[in-house]
Chain A
Amino acid sequence: MDTNFSKDDIAFRDEVRKFFDDEFDSTLAKNLGDGHGDNYKESIIAWQKKLYKKGWIAPNWPKEFGGTGWTDTQKFIYESERGLAGVPDVLPFGLKMVGPVIYTFGTQGQKERFLPKILSSDHWWCQGYSEPGAGSDLASLTTSAEYAGANYLVNGRKIWTSLAQYADWIFCLVRTSKGARKQEGISFLLIDMSSPGVTVKPIITIDGRHSLNEVLFENVSVPVENLIGEQDKGWTYAKALLAHERTNMAEVADSKRMLTELKDKASKSIGGGGRCLADDQVFQKQVSDVELDLMALEYTELRALASIAEKGMPGPESSLLKIKGTEISQQLHELHLKVAAHHGGAIALTEEQYDEIKVGSDARNRYLYGRAATIYGGSNEVQRNVIAKAVLGL
């Protein structure tokens, strides 16, 4: 049992640190913010292209498809440094979701066609899973794809599609036949967002902003070569992807960053009556409660990564990472809002507004949008069901 860094690891850490220092400038930081700014699309693409140029865009991909070939320790170092530097994670849809599905289950032609543009960020992907009637019960989805010669004809409605307003492509679960079980007869289809019959409708969330969408398909013609793997076997591929997605949801590096920022803010924040909030024992207890959980989660994640390295795919225990990770990040959002006190209610309208108002407004938006984390990617209730069934055998 050992998590110490070797000399090479330390050299690697310094290299990562220097790269973030040099390349992630303040304009990027400002424009990327919490993923909702006006220049978000251009900025995240610009940042990802820098990572691509450096060869660091897909640490988790096998080397043959464009991965880094890093050891687990190096991946851990990279993530930690990313969190410390306040660098946002890459967009997950292409690099962490559909990419692995394509290189695992796709044809040679699909790999050649899609993987390079995912790596170079020339294609923006989004995820077409949930439907109005199929949320937690994803397998009850009804968007249909009828086989008609060389094409599928797709009809239906997807919902809660993050950042679909920017997307070039969407990977969808569609129903191609009615099997005995609802999980049968689902297929995994890649659809060009510019196809006739695709409409994106914005959904404004409780933070007053637009990142979610409805995506409507009306007689959308999709070539059969866009089918991943076998027809009617899509659920298998989706399940593999969901396990990957959940593993990514621990967000330890980002939570550590939030924790550091929280402590920093609290130490500068005046607690009224000339006292400092960081000296308030109630507040200290609340912060340390989260910190303990986060320290443990960091190692839970490392253990999971080590096990994935050994077994290939993440197992059902990845649900644990999703549950704890999202709960911890929500607690951190809440504490940031606590620091903001009265200013957490503010909606900052202009750049000229007072700093307290902007900081408060930002904390509130993160808190509100953060409520979705325990709902998306398979709600935490569903994750608990997964653990009960697949891990505990209940």
Chain B
Amino acid sequence: MNFDFSEEQTMIMDGISRYVREEYDFDVRRTIKDSNDGYSKEVWRRFSELGWLSIPFDEVYDGFGGKTDDLASVMIELGKGAIIEPYVASIVVFGTLLNESNNESLKKEIIPKIIHGNYIGSFAYIEEQSRFEITDIKTSAIKCDGGYTLRGQKLAVIDADKSDGFIVSTRTDNSQFSADGISLFLVDSESQGVSLSNYKTMDVHSASVITFEDTFVSDENLICALGNGYAHIKSVMPQILLALCSEALGIMETLNKLTVEYSKTRTQFGSPIGSFQALQHRMVDNFMAYEQAKSMVYRGLCEANNYLSGSINLDEFTRVAHAVKALVAKSSKQIGDESIQIHGGIGMTDELNIGHLVKRLMMINVEFGDGDFHQKCFGQN
């Protein structure tokens, strides 16, 4: 029995931790947030040089060949910095969807570009009516000469305005709610008939409404077999959920640390507020919520390895991932709320990092389904 990260993983984590501490502090983040691009190309280049953009990609494409726990270890540390760069959208989500694709020529073309920091991608799957149901798709892809014509609209596409291409979920067959007949295409952001309406999100990323109006996409841009899109998404979703939950874990650890530190220095009624039992007990509750979340994420990572070795199947792995996301949502809500409350007025200010970390937790909560959604999926299976 061993719950330690490997030597190699620890080395990478230490590197990211040092980087976040020394080169990506809160003032740097603030400067980047207010810049025109909305993220730092310089930071992205550094990520590439340090090898962090290569983590989930296969070695044949110059990737690191990382497994779920490799990506998770990176996310724990990146979470602590609440980084603005499109790591989740481009590496975790777009990256894993592409890496698991069987379209070798597309992978050969795109993955090295991502790793070298020259290509950013995002995943367009949410629709106006879909809420958290990934299979609820109206966007259509109709066969035409040499490819498909896309028509429809995707909402809340994270970091789309920074992206060179989108993986788009479309319906090539069956009705709106069916898990069959969904196809995934890589659509170049410059394609004709693609238009974006961009807005900022509370974690200072961006999101877009993307409209496809008779957008042509070539046969060669199919990510997986025609009509097999949902199976493809399903196969990578546990890994994506675990990466997001790992990021949340890093944030929760930071919030608890900052709150306990503050309670030791803030004096009211002649004593540090951390000496009051009412607050002590709540900080203990927050500590327990974090430890429970950590155990659940680690459980998920162990099951990821079991899935890889074939000792559990995808449905079993998926069920665990639902459980992890549901529990992490609960811990996140508790720790987020309490961090602000125990800080008091100062916790409400934009100037302090507490609120920014909480807002990132809130964004993670709704990505690919909130806690209620995942708990229901867990309970039903």
Contact = CB atoms under 8 A, between A and B. Distances in A.
A344 B376 contact: no
A134 to B, nearest CB: 8
Contacts of B128: 270, 356
A73 B202 CA distance: 43
A381 to B, nearest CB: 6
Contact of B341 (A159, A368, A374): A374
Interface secondary structure of B, over-half rule: mixed
Contacts of B199: 346-349, 353, 357
Interface in B47-97: none
A341 B369 CA distance: 8
Contact of B355 (A206, A269, A283, A338): A206
Nearest to A286: B372
Interface string B181-220: 0000000000000000101111100010100000000000
Given A137-B268, A140-B268, A384-B278, A273 B177 contact: yes
Given A206-B358, A342-B366, A375-B341, A212 B201 contact: no
B247 interface: no
Given A130-B345, A137-B268, A384-B278, A205 B350 contact: yes
B344 A270 contact: no
A135 B370 contact: no
B156 A205 contact: no
A271 interface: yes
Nearest to B130: A272
Given A345-B207, A346-B199, A371-B348, A338 B370 contact: yes
Contacts of B131: 269-273, 277, 341-342
B161 interface: no
A204 B350 contact: yes
A356 B153 CA distance: 14
B3 interface: no
Contact of B345 (A272, A354, A375, A380): A375
Contacts of A135: 268, 344-345
Given A346-B199, A347-B202, A353-B199, A372 B348 contact: yes
Contacts, number: 136
B362 A344 contact: yes
B281 to A, nearest CB: 11
Interface residues of B, number: 49
Given A273-B135, A282-B372, A338-B372, A212 B126 contact: no
Contacts of B351: 203-204
Interface in B335-381: 337, 340-341, 344-345, 347-351, 355-356, 358-359, 362-363, 366, 370, 372, 375-376
A349 B200 contact: yes
Contact of B132 (A137, A341, A345, A374): A341
Given A273-B177, A274-B177, A206 B155 contact: no
A345 B337 contact: no
Nearest to B333: A334
B221 interface: no
A379 interface: yes
A41 B209 CA distance: 34
A247 to B, nearest CB: 22
Nearest to B126: A342
B203 A345 contact: yes
Contacts of B163: none
B359 A206 contact: yes
A372 B346 CA distance: 10
Contacts of A372: 345, 348
Nearest to B337: A371
Interface string A341-380: 1111111110001101100000010001001101110011
B231 interface: no
Nearest to A367: B362
Contacts of B279: 381
B350 A206 contact: yes
Among A137, A274, A341, chain B packs the most CB atoms within 10 A around the CB of A341
A205 B129 contact: no
B316 interface: no
Contact of A283 (B135, B267, B372): B372
B238 to A, nearest CB: 20
Nearest to A271: B131
A43 interface: no
Nearest to A385: B278
Contacts of A346: 156, 199-202, 207
B344 A379 contact: yes
B136 interface: yes
Contacts of A353: 197, 199
B139 to A, nearest CB: 15
Nearest to B371: A338
B259 to A, nearest CB: 14
A160 interface: yes
B133 interface: yes
Contacts of B200: 346-347, 349
A214 to B, nearest CB: 11
Contacts of A204: 349-351
B103 interface: no
18 contacts: A136-B268, A137-B269, A206-B355, A269-B131, A270-B130, A272-B133, A282-B372, A341-B132, A341-B366, A342-B155, A342-B156, A346-B200, A348-B199, A354-B155, A356-B155, A357-B209, A375-B348, A384-B278
Interface of A: 130, 133-137, 140, 159-160, 203-206, 208, 212, 269-274, 277, 282-283, 337-338, 341-349, 353-354, 356-357, 364, 368, 371-372, 374-376, 379-381, 384
What 3 pairs across the A-B complex have the smallest Cβ distances?
A206-B355, A272-B131, A272-B133
Given A270-B131, A374-B341, 6 more contacts: A206-B340, A212-B348, A338-B372, A344-B366, A345-B202, A368-B355
